[in-house]
C-alpha cells in the first residue's frame, strides 16, 4: 500500500504572467502530482485583476490576491482602500497585496511606495484578510510602518519570499506575522537565511514559489512553477528537523490559519 503524498500549498505565485501562457492545465497537473493541491496567484497591478480573478474562477485549486506591487507604484494609479475592499468580496479573493517597499530597484518612488503600503495595510485591517508583503532593501522603513500600523489596529501579514535581515524577520514575528520560504531558501549559499527560518516558530512558516521566478535546485535558472514548492518544502523540513510529511502538515495548518478564507471556501464547497 502506497503512502499518500503529503499535501502542501504554494502560497504565492504569478500564474497570469506570460511565462505560463497556454500551459496552465499542464502546470496545474504537475503541481497536483507533486502534492501541491492549492495555490494563491498574485495580481501585481489592479488593472489586471479581472484576468487573475478569471484564473481563480476557472481552476479549482487556484485562489487569488490583488494589490499594487511596490515596483509598479510609480506607473500605476494609486489604489484606494475602497477599491481593495470591494475586490475582497469575491469568494476566492483571499489576501491583500502584494504591497511593500522595494528600494533596490525602485528607490526613486519610495514616498509613493510608503503611501501605497499604508493603503494596503488599511484594506487588510478593514477586511481581516492577510497582507502580503514584498520587502527589499527597505528593512528599517518596513519594520517601522508595519509596527506603527499594527499598534493602531492589529492585522495579519505574511512576509512573502522572505530573504531580508534577521532583524526584520524578528520584527515581523513579534507582530504575529508569518515568514514564507521560497526557492531562495534552497540555494546552496543561503545558509544565513536558513538559520533565520530555523530560529522562527514552526507555526509561522509558509512555503511558496513566487513562480515564474526563483526556481529551487535542481531547476535554478529555469522557469519556476507551483510544483517546485514541494522542493523548497523538503529543504524546509530539513531546516526544522522534521520529516517531510510533518513539515507539510504544519505548513498546511499555518496556511489555513492565515488564509482563513481559503479554508472557509473549501468547507462550503
What CATH number corresponds to the domain at position 259? 3.20.20.140
> What confidence score (pLDDT) does residue 1 get?
60
> What confidence score (pLDDT) does residue 2 get?
64
Closest listed residue to residue 4, CA positions, set 249, 241, 225:
249
Axis-axis angle for helices 110-127, 139-152 (nearest 10): 30
Q: Judge contact between 59 and 256, C-beta under 8 A.
A: no
pLDDT per residue over 33-78, tens digit each? Answer: 999 999 999 999 999 999 999 999 999 999 999 999 999 999 999 9
Tabulate helix, strand, coil % of the chain (nearest 5). Answer: 50, 15, 35
Q: Domain range holding 47?
A: 8-268
> Does residue 73 form part of some domain?
yes
> What confidence score (pLDDT) does residue 253 get?
98
Structurally, the chain folds into a number of domains equal to 1
- Three-state SS across 17-35? CHHHCCCHHHHHHHHHHCC
Q: Would you call 243 exposed, middle or buried from its count of C-beta atoms within 10 A (0-12, 13-18, 19+)?
A: exposed
> Does residue 39 form part of some domain?
yes
Residues 6+ apart with CB under 8 A from 30: 225, 226, 227
> Does residue 232 form part of some domain?
yes
Rg (CA), the chain: 17
Using 70 as the pLDDT threshold, list the residues of the chain that sit under it: 1-2
> Does residue 2 form part of some domain?
no
Q: Judge contact between 52 and 66, C-beta under 8 A.
A: yes
> What confidence score (pLDDT) does residue 92 get?
98
Residues 6+ apart with CB under 8 A from 260: 128
> What confidence score (pLDDT) does residue 54 get?
98
> Does residue 1 form part of some domain?
no
Amino acid at each position: 500500500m502506497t503512502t499518500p503524498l503529503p499535501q502542501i500549498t504554494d502560497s504565492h505565485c504569478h500564474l497570469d504572467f506570460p511565462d505560463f501562457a497556454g500551459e496552465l492545465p499542464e502546470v496545474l497537473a504537475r503541481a497536483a502530482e507533486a502534492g501541491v493541491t492549492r495555490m494563491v496567484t498574485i495580481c501585481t497591478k489592479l488593472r489586471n485583476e479581472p484576468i487573475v480573478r478569471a484564473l481563480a474562477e476557472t481552476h479549482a485549486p487556484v485562489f487569488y490576491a490583488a494589490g499594487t506591487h511596490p515596483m509598479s507604484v510609480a506607473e500605476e494609479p494609486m489604489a484606494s482602500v475602497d477599491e481593495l475592499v470591494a475586490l475582497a468580496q469575491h469568494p476566492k479573493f483571499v489576501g491583500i497585496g502584494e504591497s511593500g517597499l522595494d528600494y533596490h530597484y525602485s528607490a526613486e518612488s519610495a514616498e509613493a511606495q510608503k503611501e501605497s503600503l499604508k493603503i494596503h495595510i488599511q484594506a487588510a485591517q478593514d477586511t481581516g484578510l492577510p497582507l502580503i508583503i514584498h520587502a527589499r532593501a527597505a528593512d528599517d522603513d518596513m519594520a517601522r510602518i508595519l509596527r506603527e500600523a499594527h499598534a493602531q489596529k492589529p492585522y495579519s501579514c505574511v512576509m512573502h519570499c522572505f530573504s531580508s535581515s534577521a532583524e526584520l524577520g524578528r520584527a515581523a514575528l513579534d507582530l504575529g506575522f508569518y515568514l514564507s520560504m521560497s526557492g531562495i531558501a534552497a540555494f546552496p549559499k543561503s545558509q544565513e537565511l536558513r538559520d533565520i527560518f530555523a530560529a522562527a516558530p514552526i507555526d509561522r512558516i509558509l512555503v511558496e514559489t513566487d513562480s515564474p521566478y526563483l526556481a529551487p535546485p535542481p531547476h535554478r535558472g529555469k522557469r519556476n512553477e507551483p510544483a517546485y514548492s514541494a522542493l523548497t518544502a523538503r529543504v524546509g523540513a530539513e531546516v526544522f528537523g522534521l520529516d517531510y510529511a510533518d513539515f507539510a502538515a504544519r505548513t498546511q495548518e499555518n496556511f489555513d490559519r492565515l488564509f482563513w478564507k481559503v479554508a472557509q471556501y473549501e468547507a462550503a464547497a
